[in-house]
Amino acid sequence: MRPAIHVTTMFDRQTTALIRPGVDALARVFVRAGIGANALTFTGLAVGWLAAAAIALQMTLTGAALILVSRLFDGLDGAVARLTEPTDRGGLLDISLDFLFYPAIPLAFAVADPARNALTAAILLAAFVGTGTSFLAFAVIAAKRGLTNAAYPNKSFYFLGGLTEATETLAFFIAMCIWPAQFALLACVFAAMCAVTIVTRLYWGWKAFAPTDAERRDNRKSPR
């Protein structure tokens, strides 16, 4: 029997449930206009990179607005896919382009003020590597074992939550844009939260991927 996985989250699932009716209504508009999910995914990345460029130029409030628009497109692409035809290609694009967007924001703050922000931006980027690696490693092995997550039934792969998900990341990015002088402090706090996420994912992965009785028997039979 496989263990149930309960990973601590803050606000991401609640926020998703709150905004879903509005996102789904807007998605239907895009579907009627013939705009596909992949186009929205690429648009979200482009707007996100524009946000990073604005932050690098110290136009942080413009950057905040563009981040919000970017993440709206990120939510819309999945909603459009569910209304049309979800594909593995779309799932690949969605997660890959997300991982191209998120590091761009700390990097932009480092470019805007290297003396004050470069070190803490590097710390946060290292934390992002940890959360992304633990997330994808779990998803790969979960797919190998045929695991699914009932809490996220519409995801293209096993979606393992954590303390720092999309809503929490967005909140910190917006806070950084509103109070750019506090970037270093906010980045350190968020990096610490990412560390908690990494540890919890490793813990639950260790429990979830314990050898089954059948695997133990096979291992005992295998020649050394």
Nearest to 97 by CA among 155, 12, 54, 39: 39
* pLDDT value of position 30: 94
Query: Is 137 strand, coil or helix?
Result: helix
* pLDDT value of position 155: 55
Q: Is the pLDDT of residue 33 over 70?
A: yes
| Range in 57-71, 83-97, 109-123, 167-181 with the lowest mean pLDDT | 83-97
Q: Which domains does the chain have, with CATH numbers?
A: 12-209 (1.20.120.1760)
Q: Is the pLDDT of residue 223 over 90?
A: no
Report the C-alpha gap between 72 and 19 in whole angstroms.
Answer: 10
Band of residue 2 on the pLDDT scale cut at 50, 70, 90? very low
Q: How far is CA 169 from CA 66, 82, 121, 128, 183, in A?
A: 15, 24, 14, 10, 13
Query: What value does the mean pLDDT of the chain take?
Result: 85
| Range in 61-65, 92-96, 143-147 with the lowest mean pLDDT | 143-147
Q: How far is CA 23 from CA 16, 72, 218, 223, in A?
A: 9, 8, 48, 55
- pTM for the whole structure: 0.83
Report the C-alpha gap between 117 and 109 in whole angstroms.
Answer: 6
